[in-house]
Structure 1
Amino acid sequence: MYLKNTHFFGWINTFLFGTDFFVIRVGLYRMEPKRQVRIALWITPRSLSTAFLKCMSTFEKAQLFQEPFFTAKMFGPERTVIIPQFDSIFENLPDVKNYTYEHVKNTLEMDYPGKDLVFTKDGAKAIYGRFECIPQGYQHVFLIRKPSKVHVSVEKLRATAQGIGVDKASFYNKDQKCLPGSPYRNLLELLEHVRDVLGQKPVVIDADDLTISPGTILKKFCGIVGLEYSESMLKWKPGPDPRWRRAESVQSLFAGMTDAHNNSYSSTGFTTRAPGTGTETPFSELSDEVRKLVEDSTPYYEKLAAMKIKIED
């Protein structure tokens, strides 16, 4: 027997047996490696973003980041929010001393071999004014929620912080990025930068739609970003995922200060509700401060909502 013209990734050709020729054509194909998907989720506060992170944690081969730019903004050497009561503590947190914006960008752009998904979620206000640090190679997704729900929830957290000695005004007035309409203004301008400068088509998800039809929204989301949808995305284990990368000292500090993430951490899936149901504080019952925040935010929210993934096309 004589084997002629063998090519490892081509065709195995002709076998000779004496004077008879038998042509065996066996196709051997190179298996292309699975394409790694990189997603940056930009959020407004209190928009089910931690639940969304837990949803992304259902992917086994995933590299996951929890608000690294927020860590730089609040606690790193370039922090812009100054809370006098805790400033001396933040200066001595060992694992945030290197959390500069450039460090976060470089970390997100690193190679993560063996991972099918690299996912980071962060606040739009955290990157606002530092768009040059937006990591390259990511698909950018924007998570929104009705301003009344967001601002009422943030107000409760501010009240909790005030109860442990943090000046309530620190969360807004000392932050140079708190423009009228924030945080929706920050999110919209970030989206416009991604669309107009980076040339990406906006992907917007409304958190309220995730509570009405999570399967529908996630299936459409996966189709857009190139992930394989599975119903296993709808259920997860309670508690933080040990794969989430965030400064441990920051995580511990927030756990001690507020119960901001308790519901998300204890959740095992998206809490669903029927359309037209759910709790929302009537506008007339809002405080004057929150009412003004909602009024300033609504035009930006409406522009964002006009681009969102819809439950029904």
Structure 2
Amino acid sequence: MADATRTTNRVFLWTVGRSLSTVFTKCLSFVDGIQIINEPFHMALLCGPERLRDDGSRIQAIFDAMVARASAVSQGNGYDVNISTYDWAKKMLEADYPGKQIVFCKDFAFALRENYDWIPQGYRHTFLIRDPRKMFLSFKKLWAKLLQDNSFQYQELPPYINPPKHAFGELYELYQYVHDHGLEKDPIIIDADDLQKYPGSILLQYCKAVGIPYSENLLEWEAGTGVVDSWKLADVLEQANRLEEGGFYDAAFSSTHFLPLGDPPSRDEMDDDLLPLIDKSMVFYDKMYAARIKPE
């Protein structure tokens, strides 16, 4: 392993889906001397040689169709997803990045599949959470759009999208693991609503805690996907999210700043299929929320 793990400031952001993690990553992309690595374990889970699949399902069919369509518009900037094993992802995260003072990776805790041997060495471990009511509602709207089916039920999603503990349980268990095993003495947690309402305060505290230079210039940026050219990510993900329609990151790439949103919907306004997921996830969310960085 390169000595760069000791000399380069390395920060990992673990999160759940639809949590503003991509717009947060886009924001940090404008820090001088930073190398962004985007979802390497997630790509191993979805597309690499060790991927999970649900052949025959309409979810798998639409996912495969999106990947195929994305491949047709390849710009060749990403790495070949066919080499994206978990071991390869770990080695890539621990590799040397000449000229870079900071390496920042964001990924989903559930993508580790509870195999913590894949956690890369030399990283600070931080966490981004979002109110499960907002997260699950956003995810359901996205997949209903992709499936063109407003009657779609969330439980139809396979385990590589809707993991056994619905992403929040996996995130909380990883949070406990890095603390209990000495990988992170005081894990930093930020909440998406706080980030949207108080971006200057939350971003300043986060950057100070993990050793990333902060500037108020990070609070505004240009819309578009050009920043992705500097990211290290799989070709499939890079291509799929440049599509005119259906990209998972459409809102993030069109953003120019953090935009406050309203309160989460009431329980009576939520679809019945989401209520059990929300109830199970709120237990983990509340524990992490209590330990989060608070606005100053």
Shift of 1:253: 3.0
| 1:224-278 C-alpha deviation (Å, 9 max, x unpaired) | 11122211111122222110121222332355462431111011111146xxxx1
Question: Paired residue for 1:291, among 267, 275, 278?
Answer: 275
Shift of 1:176: 9.4
Q: Is it true that 1:244 corresponds to 2:231 in the alignment?
A: yes
Q: In structure 1, give the amino acid aligned to 2:180.
A: D
For residues 197 and 171 of structure 1, do their structure 2 counterparts lie closer, same or farther at Cα, with a shift above 3 Å needed?
Answer: farther
Q: Is it true that 1:73 corresponds to 2:57 in the alignment?
A: no
Partner of 2:265: 281
Distance in 2 between residues matched to 1:252 and 1:127, nearest whole Å: 23
Question: Paired residue for 2:285, among 269, 289, 301?
Answer: 301
Partner of 1:178: 163
Distance in 2 between residues matched to 1:115 and 1:57, nearest whole Å: 12
Distance in 2 between residues matched to 1:116 and 1:146, nearest whole Å: 33
Q: Is it true that 1:40 corresponds to 2:25 in the alignment?
A: no
For residues 118 and 158 of structure 1, do their structure 2 counterparts lie closer, same or farther at Cα, with a shift above 3 Å needed?
Answer: same
Contact 1:158-1:168 at 8 Å conserved across structures = no
| 1:152-190 C-alpha deviation (Å, 9 max, x unpaired) | 0011112123229xx96686344497224x211010001
Distance in 1 between residues matched to 2:277 and 2:203, nearest whole Å: 30
Partner of 1:187: 171
Q: Is it true that 1:53 corresponds to 2:25 in the alignment?
A: yes
2:83 alignment partner, SS class: coil
Q: How does 1:8-19 map to 2 (within 5 A)?
A: none
Gaps of 5+ in 1: 1-34
What is the aligned-residue RMSD (CA, Å)? 2.6
Instruction: Please say which of residues 98-107 and 122-131 is displaced more in the overlay.
Output: 122-131
Contact 1:162-1:168 at 8 Å conserved across structures = no
Distance in 2 between residues matched to 1:86 and 1:261, nearest whole Å: 17
Partner of 2:4: none
Question: Paired residue for 1:261, among 224, 249, 263?
Answer: 249
For residues 78 and 235 of structure 1, do their structure 2 counterparts lie closer, same or farther at Cα, with a shift above 3 Å needed?
Answer: same
Distance in 2 between residues matched to 1:156 and 1:243, nearest whole Å: 30
Instruction: Please say which of residues 236-245 and 102-111 is displaced more in the overlay.
Output: 236-245
Q: Is it true that 1:82 corresponds to 2:54 in the alignment?
A: yes
Partner of 1:107: 92
Gaps of 5+ in 2: 1-6, 72-78
Contact 1:55-1:234 at 8 Å conserved across structures = yes
Question: Paired residue for 1:205, among 190, 193, 204?
Answer: 190
Q: Is it true that 1:137 corresponds to 2:109 in the alignment?
A: no
Shift of 1:95: 1.7
Contact 2:133-2:265 at 8 Å conserved across structures = yes
2:52 alignment partner, SS class: coil
Distance in 1 between residues matched to 2:45 and 2:39, nearest whole Å: 10
Q: In structure 2, give the amino acid aligned to 1:289.
A: D
Shift of 1:108: 0.6
Partner of 2:75: none
Q: Is it true that 1:160 corresponds to 2:145 in the alignment?
A: yes
1:260 alignment partner, SS class: coil
Distance in 2 between residues matched to 1:79 and 1:153, nearest whole Å: 25
Distance in 2 between residues matched to 1:59 and 1:143, nearest whole Å: 19
Distance in 2 between residues matched to 1:169 and 1:149, nearest whole Å: 14
Contact 2:154-2:273 at 8 Å conserved across structures = no
Distance in 2 between residues matched to 1:82 and 1:169, nearest whole Å: 15
For residues 102 and 168 of structure 1, do their structure 2 counterparts lie closer, same or farther at Cα, with a shift above 3 Å needed?
Answer: farther
Distance in 1 between residues matched to 2:36 and 2:86, nearest whole Å: 18
Shift of 1:199: 3.6
Q: Bigger radius of gyration, 1 or 2?
A: 1
Partner of 1:5: none
Distance in 2 between residues matched to 1:262 and 1:147, nearest whole Å: 21
**Larger fraction in helix:** 2
Contact 2:81-2:234 at 8 Å conserved across structures = yes
For residues 249 and 170 of structure 1, do their structure 2 counterparts lie closer, same or farther at Cα, with a shift above 3 Å needed?
Answer: farther
Identity, in percent, stands at 36
